[in-house]
Amino acid sequence: MDRYGVVGNPIEHSKSPQIHAAFASQTRQNMVYDAFLVPKDGFGDFAQNFFNKGGRGLNVTLPFKLQARQFADVCSGRARKAGAVNTLLIGKDNKIYGDNTDGIGMVRDICKNHQGQFRDKRVLVLGAGGAVRGVLEVLLDEKPAHLNIANRTVEKAEQLASLFADCGPVSASGYTDLDGGQFDFIINGTAASLQGALPPLAPTIMAPGAWCYDMMYTRGDTAFMSWAKAHGAAKTLDGLGMLVEQAAESFFIWRNVRPDTLPVIHMIRELLT
């Protein structure tokens, strides 16, 4: 059996083993997928050992995505731009390849699962950390009219805007500078959600018909989704679909088979309730 897994610290809450087990049984792949808790200073040793012993591929989650980028012999363009690797695989040439499927996961969830489209839309991204950096290139590939990155620490948003300036029309601001602007998509990539907190946002930033997407998910609505619903968003979504879609893209990279994601999204949603 081909061996795969997810590496992180912490890892016990990861849904990836259930997601990949569902994909494998649906597409009849002969594989196992385990969760590995690795010490914070032990990623390189673990990954080397995993591949030396015949492992085929790894997903990588916090805090190891940057180390995975260093570990890979060859990184895809999107992983280099994202600054992080969430998918490793060993090639026929025994080289370790690194990729990043987070951005494609989010865009597939919005565009395929929910029939959204970014072309010519005004997009606001909240936050300027690793999670946001991971999705910017794929978002800009969708050709929005404009994408603004707003962050508490404005300099970090400015750094990201200049890093991605070659990918499309992108700007940076603080939260209070947004007053007067209106957006069709607002995507929350701040870690504030994890504490049930919200960046200070004026509800007037939502254009009529605006969609609000939280890259995080919890049981029930996140704080950002509650805010969006209370102020009349046309659609509010959490990041559970993104989680399953990024997993599906990793699965495709490893197995060259595309699983059907919708039943798996429903299954994981059921596990949360």
**Sole binder of ligand ATR in the list 5, 57, 98, 127 (CB under 6 A):** 127
Give the nearest distance from C-beta 258 to ligand ATR in angstroms: 28
Query: Among residues 61, 72, 65, which one has the least CA distance to residue 9?
Result: 61
What angle is formed at CA 152 by the lines to CA 149 and CA 153, rounded to 5 degrees? 90
Query: Among residues 257, 256, 253, which one has the least CA distance to residue 88?
Result: 253
Give the nearest distance from C-beta 8 to ligand ATR in angstroms: 13
**Helix (H) / strand (E) containing 54:** none
Residue 162 binding ligand ATR, by CB under 6 A: no
Q: How far is C-alpha 107 from the geometric centre of its chain's CA atoms?
A: 9
38 or 201: CB nearest ligand ATR: 201
- C-alpha to C-alpha distance for 127 and 175, rounded to whole angstroms: 10
Q: Based on the number of CB atoms within 10 Å of its own CB, is 160 exposed (0-12), middle (13-18) or buried (19 or more)?
A: buried
Scanning the structure block, which residue is given the tokens 């209106």? 182
**Sole binder of ligand ATR in the list 56, 78, 146, 152 (CB under 6 A):** 152
32 or 66: CB nearest ligand ATR: 66
Q: CB nearest ligand ATR: which residue?
A: 129
Stretch that binds ligand ATR, among 97-105, 189-197, 202-210, 245-253 (CB under 6 A): 189-197
Q: φ, ψ for residue 168 (rounded to 5)?
A: 160, -175
Give the nearest distance from C-beta 193 to ligand ATR in angstroms: 9
Which one of 40, 53, 65, 112 is the catalytic residue? 65
Q: Which amino acid is at 87?
A: T
71 or 175: CB nearest ligand ATR: 175
Stretch that binds ligand ATR, among 102-110, 122-130, 161-169, 204-212 (CB under 6 A): 122-130
33 or 214: CB nearest ligand ATR: 214
**Sole binder of ligand ATR in the list 5, 144, 199, 259 (CB under 6 A):** 199
Residue 234 binding ligand ATR, by CB under 6 A: no
Pair 59, 84: CB distance under 8 Å: no
Query: Among residues 205, 44, 180, 48, which one has the least CA distance to residue 126?
Result: 205
Give catalytic status of residue 65 as yes or no. yes
Residues engaged in binding ligand ATR (CB under 6 A): 127-132, 151-153, 156, 190-192, 197, 199
